């Protein structure tokens, strides 16, 4: 199939493009610089230069593709996330760009639209498992994720197949947030609060394989996480073990909740179930848990090997 990918050169996108090409698809991906053009060509894809906020330009770029995948995000660095306006570009991508892509996909004859979303939209579930029917509470910068999901639903309502992938937290050796987490863990600081709260995660390679599997999924919303969500003390403990350092100190969840609704999102207990997607597609994560995953990541990042 002919597949158009927005966000094709990001941490998730470049992995997904590689898998799509290997599966025999003809892939076009958005690239904004000569270096990223080269990256996509090396992966076997066709780079496309387009202003993703120009509706007419997006429609021309998408025309003739059977599948449109929106994997584009603009997540601010961890150190800037709380600053005013830090999420503005990401919100614009999830609202304006998403709308243009769906409009272009519908006008251009695409039959499938795949939208990246985030599992943080779910309410705090305590120790309960979260499936796709669980209530959401999309506050702050999460509101734009709901807007993106609504555009995917609009694609389905217009006769196509819209698929939303609500991803757990990514971690991988080339992820900025992962590298920040590693640096903080060396200083015994946990990038999160709530020792006993559940934290769902997904290795970046497994997230990419879910994008490929989504090409065969029935329309709807799916949770994408590994098989064993861990409590935060276990999650950061696994990272510390991989680094060969003492476990980081984890602040009580109440500390973040006192800082308001935006901060409280970061301490929600979310034990994500991937069962629906597994049953619908046969997909399964190669890394079943961060217990194994952190050791792989640390081994792949220069200078992070534990002392011998």
The Cα–Cα gap between 43 and 64 comes to 21
CB atoms within 10 A of CB 92: 15
Share of the chain above pLDDT 90, in %: 79
Least confident of 21-25, 115-119, 228-232, 248-252: 248-252
pLDDT of residue 83: 53
Per mean pLDDT, which range of 27-41, 52-66, 194-208, 244-258 is the poorest?
A: 244-258
| Predicted pLDDT of residue 89 | 75
User: How far is CA 37 from each of CA 19, 24, 44, 212, 294, rounded to the nearest angstrom?
Assistant: 17, 20, 11, 21, 31
Q: Which two tokens stand for residue 23?
A: 């599966």
User: What is the model's pLDDT at position 53?
Assistant: 94
The predicted pLDDT at position 239 comes to 97
Lowest-confidence segment of 16-25, 40-49, 134-143 by average pLDDT: 134-143
Distance CA 20, CA 151 (A): 23
The backbone torsions φ and ψ at residue 52, rounded to the nearest 5 degrees and listed phi first, read: -70, -10
Give CA 32 to chain center in angstroms.
Answer: 20
pLDDT at 46 > cutoff 90: yes
Domain assignments of the chain as residue spans, ordered by start: 2-172+202-227+271-286
Determine the average pLDDT of the residues in 154-177: 96
DSSP 67-85: EEEE----PPPGGGTTSTT
Please give the share of the chain, as a percent, with pLDDT higher than 70.
90
pLDDT for 58 equals: 97
Determine the 3-state secondary structure of 47 from DSSP. strand
- Residue 232: what pLDDT? 96
Q: Is the pLDDT of residue 305 over 90?
A: no
pLDDT tens string 60-82: 999 999 999 999 986 655 555 55
Give whichever of 134-148, 273-287, 290-304 has the largest mean pLDDT.
273-287
- CATH 3.30.750.200 for domain 2-172+202-227+271-286, yes or no, is no
How distant, in Å, are the alpha carbons of 25, 74, 77, 87, 88 from that of 83? 40, 14, 10, 9, 11
Nearest CA among 1, 15, 11 for reference residue 110: 1
Task: Please give the pLDDT value at position 142.
Answer: 83
Looking at per-residue pLDDT, the higher value among 83 and 280 belongs to 280
Confidence of residue 198 (pLDDT cuts 50, 70, 90): very high
pLDDT of residue 306: 52
Average pLDDT, the chain: 91
- Mean predicted confidence (pLDDT) in 280-287: 98
Residue 139 — pLDDT band, cuts 50, 70, 90? confident
pTM of the model as a whole: 0.93
């Amino acid at each position: 199939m002919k597949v158009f990918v927005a966000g094709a050169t990001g941490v998730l996108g470049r992995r997904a493009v590689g898998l799509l090409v290997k599966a025999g698809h003809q892939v076009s991906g958005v690239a904004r610089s000569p270096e990223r053009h080269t990256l996509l060509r090396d992966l076997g894809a066709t780079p496309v230069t387009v202003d993703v906020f120009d509706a007419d330009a997006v429609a021309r770029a998408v025309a003739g593709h059977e599948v449109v995948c929106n994997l584009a995000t603009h997540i601010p660095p961890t150190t800037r996330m709380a600053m005013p306006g830090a999420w503005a570009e990401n919100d614009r991508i999830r609202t304006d760009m998403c709308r243009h892509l769906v409009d272009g996909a519908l006008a251009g004859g695409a039959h499938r639209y795949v939208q990246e979303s985030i599992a943080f939209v779910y309410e705090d579930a305590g120790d309960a498992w979260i499936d796709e029917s669980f209530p959401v509470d999309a506050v702050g910068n999460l509101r734009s994720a709901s807007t993106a999901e609504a555009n995917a639903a609009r694609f389905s309502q217009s006769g196509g197949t819209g698929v939303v992938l609500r991803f757990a937290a990514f971690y991988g050796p080339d992820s900025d947030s992962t590298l920040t987490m590693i640096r903080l863990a060396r200083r015994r600081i946990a990038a999160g609060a709530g020792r006993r709260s559940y934290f769902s995660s997904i290795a970046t390679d497994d997230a990419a394989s879910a994008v490929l599997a989504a090409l065969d999924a029935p329309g709807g919303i799916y949770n994408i996480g590994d098989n064993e969500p861990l409590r935060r003390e276990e999650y950061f403990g696994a990272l510390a073990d991989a680094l060969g350092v003492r476990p980081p100190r984890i602040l009580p969840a109440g500390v973040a909740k006192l800082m308001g609704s935006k901060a409280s999102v970061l301490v929600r207990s979310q034990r994500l179930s991937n069962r629906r997607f597994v049953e619908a597609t046969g997909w399964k994560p190669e890394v079943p848990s961060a217990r194994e995953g952190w050791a792989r990541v640390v081994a792949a990042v220069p200078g992070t090997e534990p002392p011998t």
